[in-house]
Structure 1
Amino acid sequence: MDVIYAMKKYITEMIDQAGPGMKVLLMDDETISFVSIVYAQSEILQKEVYLFEKITAANREAMKQLKCITFVRPSVDNIAMLREELRNPKYGQYYIYFSNVVSKQDVKYLAEADEHESVREVQEFFGDYIAVSPHLFSFNIIGCKAANQWNRKCLQRTVEGLTSVMLSLRKCPAIRYQANSDMTYKLAEAVRQTISKEASLFDFRRTDVPPQLIILDRKEDPVTPLLNQWTYQAMVHELLTIQNNRVSLSHLPSVSKDLHELILSSEHDEFYAKNFASNFGDIGSNIKELMEEFQRKSDQQGKVESIADMKKFIETYPQFKKMSGTVAKHVTLVSELSRLVQTYNIMAVSELEQEICCQTEHSKSLQEIRALLNHDKVRMVDKLRLVMLYALKYETHTNNDVHGLIDTLTKKGLPEKDRRMLGYVLNYGGQKKRSSDLFGTQSPISLTKRFFKGLKGVENIFTQHTPLLAELLDQIVKSKLRESQYPFLTSGETRDRPQCVIIFIVGGATYEEANCVYTFNKVTPGVKVVLGGTTIHNSTSFFEEMREACSGPQIREKDGSSYRMT
């Protein structure tokens, strides 16, 4: 199971079916992202696609000599624009591909509009998602819920995207959902209905053990998106933000203009492919090795003394130029990450975050939080996240001092809209919202495991925390995922270990969880997992997710052992 391979295969087939000759690729806002994230522009140029246009662009020039490959979502707006396009075609031939199921009525509308008979093909290719990496996909939806209920449009988009993923991977899975989440049930049921309605599309060869689609709710683990990260990909996303595999550094005056937007793709960047899951401590030495290799090749490039040397220079120059760009890109990124870590005391913040999540000494944690809240170098957002983690961990602790910590933040200048986040996080993912023992403090078995972990120590104090997803993956591979907590949507499903699993997180996944899946796939023979989410969060986008989900509650008064939302 590889979502990048599936998406690239679709795009390649679209281009190949148009045959030889110059082509234009006509897309909408979403399909542009679907294509650009898996295909480099230079690769598509090699297939005689010389022009890229948006269907919404006004005053596109008519070029009848070009074949037009149209790849759009089957939305009402796109169908309307396509009808107008066909009534007055700008290109000689049209090959129309939809990223999802298109109705027969819409196809009829297009046929009626094709008065010039310029359409050569209309077909469905189920690439209706962002293929971030082979094991990770997203729909770029932030704020899928309001007042803990689905936003209707977001639900529809998520159903379309999920069924598209299953069709592109050629899987018709048994569906499981999170029992304590109405949102996961509604999504599961909507997906089941779509599979039933489009039964002919899902008529794949059956396996002895069917694949599984397991739908989770972000509220079950609100901790993971709040933590500072130390693997390369996750760290870049947390501190700089990755959007469709692109990082913008245009806000940094010290960065040259040609490095204002950097592309991070394991498909087109060998160094990134090898290091995206590496710890930050290892990245520095790996960057050094990359630079030393580049310097050796640079010295070799400089020695042009004969015709043979010139020939060799011309042959190796493209690879040399590519390597030069790779070195500049990653040196720039790592330098900026290092600057941010040092400037804002992020190592101390991260160490305390890990202690809050993984240790049980309340008074020690509280004392250290107070110290960092008064530290001038620590960013306000990091101070806020420390208090949020503390509120989640010690929500029912008799001596917790959330209100005292909020008062400290208020005196430090925390805005009202950010103070509300303390209420939002408990309303979104507090103890009453979860069914799991997220901090391992509620059962004797969990406490024993934590005790022995403490005796052994940890290799890295910054990576003690493991997402809840890691525990679920272990249960899946051992066929121990509880049906009471994650029931099958239909009865009679086999309980044997699945070989193919699609895990989808309503409310967004994280790169830390994607790293769990990546590692799991490497070390677990016979089982392949693909992870998806409505979006891929860093702490900033997770704040936005919670704001959308929680319509205005905030902590105002203590009521017994919990906080009343008013």
Structure 2
Amino acid sequence: MNAIIAVKQYITKMVDDCGSGMKVLLMDKETTSIVSMVYAQSEILQKEVYLFESIEQPNRETMKHLKAICFIRPTQDNVELIQQELQSPKYGFYYLYFSNRLGKQALKAIASADEQELVREVQEFYADYFAVNKNLFTLNIPCCYQNMSWKRDKLDRSIEGIAALLLSLKKNPVIRYQQSSDNAKQVAEGLKRLINKEGALFDFRKSDVAPVLIILDRKEDPVTPILNQWTYQAMIHELLTIRKNVVDLSYVPGISKELKQLIFSGEQDEFYDKNLYRNFGEIGQNIKSLMEKFQEKSQRSQKLESIADMKAFVESYPEFKKMSGTVSKHVTVVSELSKIVTEQDLLALSEVEQEISCQTSHSNAVEMINKVLHNEKATDLNLLRIILLYALRYEHHSGNQLHRFLDVLSRRDFPDQYKKAIQAVLQYGGKKSRGSDIFGGNTPLSITKKFFKGLKGVENIYTQHTPLVQDVLDSLVKGKLSDGQYPYATGSPVRDRVQDVIIFIAGGATYEEAYSVQNFCSINQGVRVLLGGTYVHNFKRFVKYYIS
């Protein structure tokens, strides 16, 4: 189960199936991003696609010599745009590919508009989701709730997106959901109705052990999106923000033009692909090795003592240039990350976060927070993290000192919106909203020390926290996932060891959870896990869209 390959195969097929000749790829806003996250523009150009256009752009130039490959979502607006396009065509022929199921009425409307009979093909290609990593997908819905319940259109979009994922992977899974969440139940029941309605589409050859889809709600684990992160991809998103595989560094003083917008895709960057889940200290060492290789290569390249040397240099130049760009990109990013870590004293603050979220002593937590409140390097956002963790963990503790902490924060002009967020998070993900004890009151959390080698002056940092996703996977694979807490919307209990698992988090997933999934699969050989969510959060976005 590989989200990137599933989407990429569709794109490759639609470009190849229309034959040779010059082509234009006509997309909508969402499908443009879906394609760009799995395919580099240079790769598509090699397939005779010479133009990329938006279906929403009305004033496109007429070029009858081009074939139009249209890849769009089957929305009412898009169907109407296709009708308008066919009534006043700008290209020679049209190959229509919809990213999800196309209704019969929509198909009739398109056929009626094709008076010149220019449409050569109409197909459903189920690439209706954004493939972030091999094991991570998102629907890119930043705000799916209103008053803690689904917005109707976002619920429908989520059901459609998950259905497309299942169809692209050829899976008809047993569906389970988090019993304590009505939001999770609505997704599960909606998928059940859709699969029953479209039975023929989901009639795949059955495997020996049925795949399992588990629908979770973000509120069941509000802790994971709050914590600072220390693996490369998660850290970049936390401190710099990744939007559809792009990091914007245009705000960095003196940065060169080519480094203002950086693409972070494992498909296009081998170093990034190999280091997604490495911790920060390892990244520093690996970039150093990359630079040494580059320097070694560049020095060899200067020895142009013969025609053969020159020929070898010219032939290797594209790789040489690509390596140069890779070195520059990652050195720039790690430099920026290091600056933020130092300026905001994140190593010290992160250790406090981990201690509060994983240890039990209230007095120790109070002592640590008292020190943090007087740390001049601590930003308001990082103070909010720590206070939120305290508020969640010690929500009903008899000695709760939340009000005193807020009084202290008031004297340093702590933003009012952050104060409101502290109460909102208790409503959103407090004890009454959750079905289990994420702080380990019922089941002890394993605590692991991880050493960060390579960061000067830093001996180690604790990464004690385990996302709920990992606990769910552990229980599922061992056959111990509670039928009461995670009931079945479809299918019956799977007694054999599961092999394929898809987890979807309504309310958004995180890169830390993607790392947990990767780590889980490396330990549990033979188990394949794909993680998805309505969005991929960092703390700032989590607060903005779900708490404040």
Pair in the same fold by TM > 0.5: yes
Q: Which residue of 1 aligns with 2:515?
A: 515
- What secondary structure sits across from 2:461 in the alignment? coil
> Which residue identity does 1:473 align to in structure 2?
L
Q: Which residue of 1 aligns with 2:32?
A: 32
1:67-82 to structure 2, matched below 5 A, reads: 67-82=67-82
Is the contact between residue 97 and residue 125 of structure 2 (CA under 8 Å) also seen in structure 1?
A: yes
Cα distance in 2 for residues equivalent to 1:495 and 1:505:
24
> Which residue identity does 1:489 align to in structure 2?
A
> Which residue identity does 1:29 align to in structure 2?
K
Q: Which residue of 1 aligns with 2:356?
A: 356
> Which residue identity does 1:111 align to in structure 2?
A
Cα distance in 2 for residues equivalent to 1:218 and 1:35:
27
Q: Which residue of 1 aligns with 2:485?
A: 485
Q: Which residue of 1 aligns with 2:271?
A: 271
> Which residue identity does 2:22 align to in structure 1?
M
Q: Shift in Å at residue 493 of structure 1?
A: 3.9
Matched, 1:472 2:475: no
> Which residue identity does 1:102 align to in structure 2?
L
Cα distance in 2 for residues equivalent to 1:79 and 1:411:
56
> Which residue identity does 2:84 align to in structure 1?
E
> Which residue identity does 1:14 align to in structure 2?
M
Task: Determine what percentage of the aligned residue pairs are the same residue.
Answer: 55
Q: Which residue of 2 aligns with 1:527?
A: 527
Q: Which residue of 1 aligns with 2:344?
A: 344
> Which residue identity does 2:492 align to in structure 1?
G
Cα distance in 2 for residues equivalent to 1:33 and 1:273:
19
Q: Which residue of 2 aligns with 1:495?
A: 495
Cα distance in 2 for residues equivalent to 1:282 and 1:296:
21
Is the contact between residue 226 and residue 385 of structure 1 (CA under 8 Å) also seen in structure 2?
A: yes
Cα distance in 2 for residues equivalent to 1:263 and 1:212:
33
Moved more, 319-328 or 253-262: 253-262
Cα distance in 2 for residues equivalent to 1:115 and 1:6:
34
Please list the CA deviations of residues 314-334 of structure 1 after superposition, one character each: whole Å capped at 9, or x if unmatched: 110000000000000000000
Moved more, 221-230 or 400-409: 400-409
Q: Shift in Å at residue 304 of structure 1?
A: 1.4
Cα distance in 2 for residues equivalent to 1:377 and 1:544:
23
Cα distance in 2 for residues equivalent to 1:378 and 1:277:
26
Q: Which residue of 1 aligns with 2:108?
A: 108
Matched, 1:366 2:371: no
Please list the CA deviations of residues 90-144 of structure 1 after superposition, one character each: whole Å capped at 9, or x if unmatched: 0001000000000111111111111111110010000000000111000111221
Cα distance in 2 for residues equivalent to 1:78 and 1:219:
34
Is the contact between residue 74 and residue 100 of structure 1 (CA under 8 Å) also seen in structure 2?
A: yes
Q: Which residue of 2 aligns with 1:183?
A: 183
Cα distance in 1 for residues equivalent to 2:187 and 2:411:
43
Is the contact between residue 178 and residue 485 of structure 2 (CA under 8 Å) also seen in structure 1?
A: yes
Please list the CA deviations of residues 210-232 of structure 1 after superposition, one character each: whole Å capped at 9, or x if unmatched: 11110001111100000000000
> Which residue identity does 2:197 align to in structure 1?
K
- What secondary structure sits across from 2:462 in the alignment? coil
Matched, 1:130 2:130: yes
Moved more, 20-29 or 537-546: 537-546
Q: Which residue of 2 aligns with 1:557?
A: none
Is the contact between residue 94 and residue 121 of structure 1 (CA under 8 Å) also seen in structure 2?
A: yes
Is the contact between residue 345 and residue 378 of structure 2 (CA under 8 Å) also seen in structure 1?
A: yes
Q: Which residue of 1 aligns with 2:63?
A: 63
Please list the CA deviations of residues 38-90 of structure 1 after superposition, one character each: whole Å capped at 9, or x if unmatched: 00001000000010000111310000000000000000000001000000110
Cα distance in 2 for residues equivalent to 1:316 and 1:491:
55
How many residues are aligned here?
540
1:276-425 to structure 2, matched below 5 A, reads: 276-425=276-425
- What secondary structure sits across from 1:497 in the alignment? coil
Is the contact between residue 499 and residue 528 of structure 1 (CA under 8 Å) also seen in structure 2?
A: yes
Cα distance in 2 for residues equivalent to 1:429 and 1:461:
27
> Aligned pair in 2 of structure 1 residues 364, 193: CA closer, same or farther (>3 Å)?
same
Q: Shift in Å at residue 148 of structure 1?
A: 2.0
Q: Which residue of 1 aligns with 2:160?
A: 160
Is the contact between residue 507 and residue 545 of structure 1 (CA under 8 Å) also seen in structure 2?
A: no
Q: Which residue of 2 aligns with 1:148?
A: 148
Cα distance in 1 for residues equivalent to 2:349 and 2:492:
49
Cα distance in 2 for residues equivalent to 1:214 and 1:299:
53
Is the contact between residue 392 and residue 430 of structure 2 (CA under 8 Å) also seen in structure 1?
A: yes
Is the contact between residue 508 and residue 536 of structure 2 (CA under 8 Å) also seen in structure 1?
A: yes
- What secondary structure sits across from 1:213 in the alignment? strand
Q: Which residue of 1 aligns with 2:220?
A: 220
- What secondary structure sits across from 1:69 in the alignment? strand
Q: Which residue of 2 aligns with 1:243?
A: 243
> Which residue identity does 1:376 align to in structure 2?
E
Q: Which residue of 2 aligns with 1:434?
A: 434
Question: Runs of 5+ in structure 1 lacking a partner?
Answer: 549-566
Cα distance in 2 for residues equivalent to 1:430 and 1:385:
15
Please list the CA deviations of residues 370-428 of structure 1 after superposition, one character each: whole Å capped at 9, or x if unmatched: 22112211111001111000000111111110011111222211222221010111001
- What secondary structure sits across from 2:5 in the alignment? helix
Two-structure CA RMSD over aligned residues (Å):
1.3
Is the contact between residue 175 and residue 491 of structure 2 (CA under 8 Å) also seen in structure 1?
A: no
Matched, 1:20 2:13: no
Is the contact between residue 373 and residue 383 of structure 1 (CA under 8 Å) also seen in structure 2?
A: yes
Matched, 1:504 2:481: no
Moved more, 415-424 or 43-52: 415-424
> Which residue identity does 1:132 align to in structure 2?
V
Is the contact between residue 354 and residue 461 of structure 1 (CA under 8 Å) also seen in structure 2?
A: no
Cα distance in 2 for residues equivalent to 1:496 and 1:399:
47
Q: Shift in Å at residue 457 of structure 1?
A: 5.9
Cα distance in 2 for residues equivalent to 1:490 and 1:37:
32
Cα distance in 1 for residues equivalent to 2:450 and 2:37:
36
> Aligned pair in 2 of structure 1 residues 457, 4: CA closer, same or farther (>3 Å)?
closer
- What secondary structure sits across from 2:225 in the alignment? helix
Q: Which residue of 2 aligns with 1:562?
A: none
Is the contact between residue 209 and residue 499 of structure 2 (CA under 8 Å) also seen in structure 1?
A: yes
Is the contact between residue 180 and residue 485 of structure 1 (CA under 8 Å) also seen in structure 2?
A: yes
> Which residue identity does 1:263 align to in structure 2?
I
Question: Runs of 5+ in structure 2 lacking a partner?
Answer: 452-459
Cα distance in 2 for residues equivalent to 1:402 and 1:318:
58
Cα distance in 2 for residues equivalent to 1:523 and 1:245:
28
> Which residue identity does 1:147 align to in structure 2?
N
Cα distance in 1 for residues equivalent to 2:88 and 2:349:
60
Q: Shift in Å at residue 491 of structure 1?
A: 5.7
- What secondary structure sits across from 1:208 in the alignment? coil
Q: Shift in Å at residue 310 of structure 1?
A: 1.1
Q: Shift in Å at residue 494 of structure 1?
A: 3.0
TM-score between the two structures when normalised by the length of structure 2: 0.97
Q: Which residue of 2 aligns with 1:229?
A: 229
Cα distance in 2 for residues equivalent to 1:279 and 1:493:
38
Q: Shift in Å at residue 525 of structure 1?
A: 1.8
Is the contact between residue 212 and residue 501 of structure 1 (CA under 8 Å) also seen in structure 2?
A: yes
Cα distance in 2 for residues equivalent to 1:156 and 1:254:
45
